[in-house]
Structure 1
Amino acid sequence: MGTASLGMYDAPFVAPANDALWAAVAARLRAAGLADVPAALDRTRPLAAIWQAPDLLFAQTCGYPLVTTLRDVVRPVAAPIYRWPGCQGATHRSVVVVATGSPADGLAALIGARAAINGRDSNTGMNLFRRALADVAAGAPMFGEVIETGSHLASLAAVRDGEADAAAIDAVTFALATHHRPELTAGLRVVATTPVSPSLPFVTRRDAAPALVAALVEALAGAIADPVNAAATTALGLVAVQPVTFADYAVVRRYAEEAAALGYPALA
């Protein structure tokens, strides 16, 4: 069977919604005559392995790897449209959070602070944060320390628990946590936002035929629009999808280039 994943937003509190959404998408794909449609999402392998899988049917990835390490591996299918704050059309941004009691009143106030990032290959946790900071960094390092946490939820915890002073969190993750597990964002406040970026793309394998890409878009859009799946889409904040290509994500690489041109090539 093929491989399917919705691992980018798959915390335990939304995993049942992802399962329900995939069941609806998979049923539509089978009805359209596709073979090798997996019955369940793959949660047994790291996302990096899933993206590289030769039998990849459907997954979601981050915009920064899409335009760097995955450009010759996957093919963008569609971008999700979410109802959450910080999302407009098929775009999102990051929110920069600090502890409620922090005196920071903007990005410039974070000089010398400890920053938490989910990973160096993250668009929302690193690339958008870097681009926003480049405007105030004046070509010098911003932080006294940068901590890699491995996930946005772990970055929230690091700031909440005093292990870091600030973090850039994907607006969708921040909204999902606030909506489903408000204790995860309690004690935090948003001190700034980053530039917007295309939302995290749904992808398939690089050599997928155009007919398969079209079938995936149709099945995904149909499942989201179907009132039968309203509980799942409401839990995920998912409103619709918009077909996309690599060209739609060129801005992700441009932000990296702009930060470098401003003398801030690495988040530090």
Structure 2
Amino acid sequence: MPYVANARMYSVNPPAAAAWKDLFGWLARGSGVDLDIIDHAFPLPLADLWARNDLACAFMCGFPFMLAAHRPRPVVAPVPTKAAIRGRPVYVTRLVVRADSPFHTIEDTFDGRLGYTVADSHSGYNALRHHLLPYFLQRGAKLYRESIGPLTTPRRVIEALLTGAIDVGPLDGYALDLMQHHQPELTSDIRVVATTDPAPIPFLVAAPGCPDEIVAILQATLATFADAPACAGLRERLRLDAFAPVAVEDYGLMTRWDAEVRAAGYPQPA
């Protein structure tokens, strides 16, 4: 039977989406698993993708994974070329502003308009709250006059910045690297004013009922990605060095951060 593959979370522009489709094509040939590479673009809910019974490979953020009552099966985690800790499957959130804005630090943006992606996102919500918590505790009051969202995707965060709908917004650091690699003009459009602490990166998952042998052969094939000569171009196009085993216990950091901000009375970034 065919299984579904999708890289919506990191299909940040057409060149990146094409590279992920090529990666899944290589994976299907190398593993012998029949992969149906589907589109599942915004505004379709990611939760519907993660709930598919025929899912074999789709990116899932660690925060909703940890919160899920019925978790999908972890497959592998990507190791970005610009990983926050070299050689590790980790990432950061970049807090960005328009390049021509007067803001140069995160404190400069206070009392402005803050964007966020969606409440079950780590990079676009949970990490943002964690980073802002010390400032909230110091001030003892809201940091921003408006909290605008859900913007859902990194692309829509950038659009909101460029149209002036928000003053600052969070971007998944790996997604930003992919976007800037394929659209270098973005470097002159936006500017990073702060970076969060590192966290475990979103990873590929399969349906809870995906057979052991299918998960195992996908893991074994993706483990060869780092050294496969046929993947040299893909490694460059995807800004990706390797795939690593998923250490589920590491993702507990996300629920700890969530508990900390809630206990401090700062459940929503604003």
Determine the structure 1 residue equivalent to 2:210. 208
- For 2:164 and 2:83, locate their aligned partners in 1 and report how far apart those are by CA, in whole Å: 26
Structure 1 residue 153: deviation in Å?
A: 1.1
Which whole-Å deviations, capped at 9, do the CAs of 1:85-106 have from their partners, x for residues lacking one?
Answer: 6453110001111122333333
Structure 1: any 5+ residue segments left out of the alignment? none
- Equivalent runs, 1:27-106 vs 2, <5 Å: 27-30=29-32, 34=33, 37-38=34-35, 40-44=36-40, 46=44, 47-69=46-68, 71-84=69-82, 86=84, 88=86, 89-106=88-105
- 1:109 alignment partner, SS class: helix
2:39 counterpart letter in structure 1 = R
Determine the structure 2 residue equivalent to 1:121. 120
TM-score (norm 1): 0.90
- For 1:173 and 1:2, locate their aligned partners in 2 and report how far apart those are by CA, in whole Å: 25
- 1:225 alignment partner, SS class: coil
Answer whether contact 2:72 2:207 (CA < 8 A) is retained.
yes
Determine the structure 2 residue equivalent to 1:264. 266
Query: Aligned pair in 2 of structure 1 residues 86, 167: CA closer, same or farther (>3 Å)?
Result: farther
- For 1:122 and 1:75, locate their aligned partners in 2 and report how far apart those are by CA, in whole Å: 19
**Aligned counterpart for 2:238 among listed residues 229, 236, 259:** 236
Answer whether contact 2:92 2:123 (CA < 8 A) is retained.
yes
- For 1:107 and 1:241, locate their aligned partners in 2 and report how far apart those are by CA, in whole Å: 33
Answer whether contact 2:50 2:58 (CA < 8 A) is retained.
yes
- For 2:119 and 2:28, locate their aligned partners in 1 and report how far apart those are by CA, in whole Å: 33
- 1:115 alignment partner, SS class: strand
Moved more, 49-58 or 223-232: 223-232
Q: Which runs of 4+ in 1 moved over 6 A?
A: none
Answer whether contact 1:13 1:180 (CA < 8 A) is retained.
yes
Q: Aligned residues, how many?
A: 261
- 2:232 alignment partner, SS class: helix
Which whole-Å deviations, capped at 9, do the CAs of 1:37-86 have from their partners, x for residues lacking one?
Answer: 22x411057332221001111111112111113x5141222211011264
Answer whether contact 1:80 1:201 (CA < 8 A) is retained.
yes
Moved more, 188-197 or 148-157: 148-157
Query: Aligned pair in 2 of structure 1 residues 202, 44: CA closer, same or farther (>3 Å)?
Result: closer
- 1:13 alignment partner, SS class: helix
1:142 counterpart letter in structure 2 = L
Identical residues among aligned pairs (%): 30
**Aligned counterpart for 1:24 among listed residues 23, 26, 32:** 26
TM-score (norm 2): 0.89
Answer whether contact 1:107 1:136 (CA < 8 A) is retained.
no
- For 2:211 and 2:250, locate their aligned partners in 1 and report how far apart those are by CA, in whole Å: 20
RMSD: 1.9
Determine the structure 1 residue equivalent to 2:250. 248
Determine the structure 1 residue equivalent to 2:228. 226
- 1:14 alignment partner, SS class: helix
Determine the structure 1 residue equivalent to 2:157. 155
Structure 2: any 5+ residue segments left out of the alignment? none
Answer whether contact 1:64 1:123 (CA < 8 A) is retained.
yes
2:160 counterpart letter in structure 1 = A
Determine the structure 1 residue equivalent to 2:7. 6
